[in-house]
Amino acid sequence: MFSNYAPTPLEDWVTDFYKHLNIATPDELQPDTIAERAGIILLQEDMDSHCITNSYIQIIALDSRLPDLQRRQAFFHELCHILRHEGLQGAMPPLFREWQEWDAVNFARCAAIPRHMLHYIRLDGDAVAHASEVFQVPPRLCEERLQQILNRKREASAL
């Protein structure tokens, strides 16, 4: 499934980011490890997940009430906002805010199951359940990520 897969620029960017942080295996793909190596303060609070970033500090606050798998997914979503977005969402035009949220959802898929770690997914049996176990993210995210990869492979073979 993953052979001859042509990654997107976003997938390459995520892989380069992780390689810069010396993150090469799913076991190293931990929010606290990523945050520490990237210089991001990671908090767990009894409030909705969010991030705060400016010229001096970067903070990701995760909702401690969320189950572990959803909290990890929220981390990757907020990581996108830290790494790729600028501005206060409440002060920006609605369409731009919607685009940032779409981008964060897409980024979370790629960051939770990065291209350079796809070979850790066992494709025999239930690949979605296996990916969820290996990468410790919700099965729905794994299903979306695997479908994203299949769709890109189909598109590439149609050209």
The predicted-structure confidence for 62-121, as pLDDT tens digits, reads as follows 999 999 999 999 999 999 999 986 655 555 567 767 877 888 999 999 999 999 999 999
Residue with tokens 């890109």: 152
pLDDT confidence bin for 55, thresholds 50/70/90: confident
Task: Compute the average pLDDT of residues 50-55.
Answer: 88
Taking Cα atoms as reference points, which of 3, 76, 64 lies closest to residue 34? 76
Instruction: Give buried/exposed letters for 76-90 (b at 16+ CB in 10 A, else e).
Output: bbbbbbbbebeeeee
pLDDT at 124: 82
Residue 22 has pLDDT above 70, yes or no: yes
